[in-house]
Amino acid sequence: MPHKQPLIYCRDTQAFAVQSHQANLAIAAVSLEFGLTELDMKNPERQNRQLRFARQVAMYLAHVVYELNHTHLGRIFAKDRSTISHACKVVEESRDDGVFDLKLIRLENFLRQAPKPVTPALVSLNGGMAT
Total-model pTM: 0.78
- Residue range 95-110: mean pLDDT, rounded: 97
> Is residue 123 helix, strand or coil?
strand
Q: Taking the domain 12-116, which CATH number applies?
A: 1.10.1750.10
Angle at the Cα of 53 from the Cα atoms of 100 and 13, rounded to 5 degrees: 110
Residues paired with 7 in a beta bridge: 124
| Amino acid, single-letter form, for residue 123 | V
Which residue in 45, 104, 66, 9 sits closest to 76, CA to CA? 66
| Total length of the chain | 131
Highest mean pLDDT pick, 4-8, 103-107, 117-121: 103-107
Compute CA distances 50 → 36, 47, 57, 74, 123, whole Å. Answer: 9, 8, 11, 20, 41
Q: What is the pLDDT of residues 16-63, one digit of tens each?
A: 788 888 999 999 999 999 999 988 888 877 788 999 999 999 999 999
Angle at the Cα of 14 from the Cα atoms of 13 and 15, rounded to 5 degrees: 95
The answer to whether 38 and 28 have CB atoms below 8 angstroms apart is yes
